[in-house]
Structure 1
């Protein structure tokens, strides 16, 4: 696995509040700036092998979550689907071919002999992106709000504890729906990327609530593009279309009727063939009814005007 050892990235880590360097003492990291509130405070704890670099006053994570030194640790780096028998696993969560294709483009475009790729919300290995962890050329740095075998530190994506212009690429898959301020997170991604840095994102549109109280927002194709207006678009479109969106809806309809998540999951397995309908829907209609969208882009300065984002729409409701 191409995860960079924590000892190699410690020099990159900065205070999430003021971005000053950190100093280490026992099981605590402290900000070196006398003007920073984290300089004279209890600092940032280290839980197990994970530094917890969270500005607790501006996060959904509380310092108390780590007060006993245990914190929260995600042991399963592949997610719930990995616990199913292989045939059922393929039906429940088939390979994300869109991600596989775009990750290949991303890896080929990353510059140099040892480019750095930051995985935002990388507590698990995302569907279709595992190639970045297998490529020995790519130096992967990953964080999440919980520790896991595939992360080096714990942090809040609203305040990434890395210096400006410090990474070559960013991967943020199925994360932006779980943050309170997606625009701020994307601004942070823009900040930590080098001038020609690349980003690959996948974000839901028509999906039911998942992760309970930590699910906050959705984006249309145009809304997703405007969110990444500080990037030149290299490719964008649906990750999964109306068939997959229908499958999600039936799953949750059955959950509501039966008051049983298990019944919904069984129904989802039985009706997994609905995903095939994605291939039958023309692209312009899929743009209006997709389950999720992807965006692959290159960092730039500037944004998009209101007329530009209105003209960006390419769905079936275009006026002729």
Structure 2
């Protein structure tokens, strides 16, 4: 697994408060700016022997919460049950290959929210020559440091690609996080994101946001689209609903999980739904794009819609925008 060591990426790290470089001290890191609170001899705290590069005065999490966030041992189902409960994410597999194919030699790939290796993106961790940098708010064997995605402690233009899979629903300000991703990427850097559209609340109080396909595209408006679409369609969305309906009726999460297992065949219905319909009713959506400076206009966002709801009024509006002389390509060319 090409997870870079902390020593290998130390020159990329910056202070999340003042953006100054960091300096190493025995057992910790500290900010080089003398007037920064994190420039004190104590420097940044650690959790699980990993530096905690969080500006706690500007973060929704506290030192105590980070210290208590270390994940416990994983409880793994038997392989056959695991495949039925959470099958291989083939969309992510395909897009991870596209991402890797679009990178040059010896790229640095940042995984935001990488406490675990995401479903279908493990190729990123296996690819020879790739240096993976990963962080989360919980220390993990597959992360080098703890950080808040709203203030990524990496220098501008320091990474070649970013993977942010099933994370943006759990941040308070997704636009701020995407702006940080844009900042740390090199000029032609790539981003791969997967974000829920129609899913029930998961992670309790740490679940905030959902996006339609057009809303997801607007979120990544400063990126040229390479590919985008559903990760999982309405069959998977229905499976989520069955799970949570049974949970609500029985007041039991375990009963919901049993119902989910018994109805796992609903996922197969995704294959029967054309992509334009799936975009309007997907469980989750993906976006693969390349960094650029120009941002989509609001008119381009409206014209971007590719779903199946083509009412006469909506079709007229889309045609009007498409025919507008000042309309530029959504891809930015």
- Partner deviation per Cα, 1:67-93 (whole Å, 9 max, x = no partner): xxx5432255xx66xx11111100000
Aligned equivalent of 1:73, options 70, 74, 77: 70
1:31 is matched with which residue?
31
SS at 1:117 equivalent? strand
1:47 is matched with which residue?
47
Q: Is the 2:28–2:44 contact (alpha carbons within 8 Å) kept by the matching residues of 1?
A: yes
Structure 1 residues 99-110: aligned runs within 5 Å: 99-110=92-103
**Partner Cα separation in structure 1 for residue 107 and residue 26 of structure 2:** 31
- 1:231 CA drift (Å): 0.2
Q: Which runs of 5+ in 1 are unaligned?
A: none
**Pair 1:199 & 2:196 matched:** no
**Partner Cα separation in structure 1 for residue 41 and residue 26 of structure 2:** 15
SS at 2:94 equivalent? helix
Q: Is the 1:167–1:192 contact (alpha carbons within 8 Å) kept by the matching residues of 2?
A: yes
- Partner deviation per Cα, 1:169-215 (whole Å, 9 max, x = no partner): 00000000000000000000000000000000000000000111110
**Pair 1:274 & 2:271 matched:** no
TM-score of the superposition, structure 1-length normalised? 0.94
**Partner Cα separation in structure 2 for residue 32 and residue 163 of structure 1:** 14
Q: Which runs of 5+ in 2 are unaligned?
A: 316-333
Structure 1 residues 211-226: aligned runs within 5 Å: 211-226=203-218
- Partner deviation per Cα, 1:105-124 (whole Å, 9 max, x = no partner): 10111112x11100000000
**Pair 1:132 & 2:124 matched:** yes
**Pair 1:249 & 2:246 matched:** no
- 1:41 CA drift (Å): 8.2
**Partner Cα separation in structure 2 for residue 2 and residue 191 of structure 1:** 24
1:17 is matched with which residue?
17
TM-score of the superposition, structure 2-length normalised? 0.91
1:8 is matched with which residue?
8
**Partner Cα separation in structure 1 for residue 301 and residue 8 of structure 2:** 41
**Pair 1:151 & 2:143 matched:** yes
Aligned length, in residue pairs: 312
- RMSD of equivalent CA atoms: 1.4
**Partner Cα separation in structure 1 for residue 280 and residue 128 of structure 2:** 39
1:60 is matched with which residue?
60
- 1:18 CA drift (Å): 1.3
- 1:136 CA drift (Å): 1.9
SS at 1:287 equivalent? helix
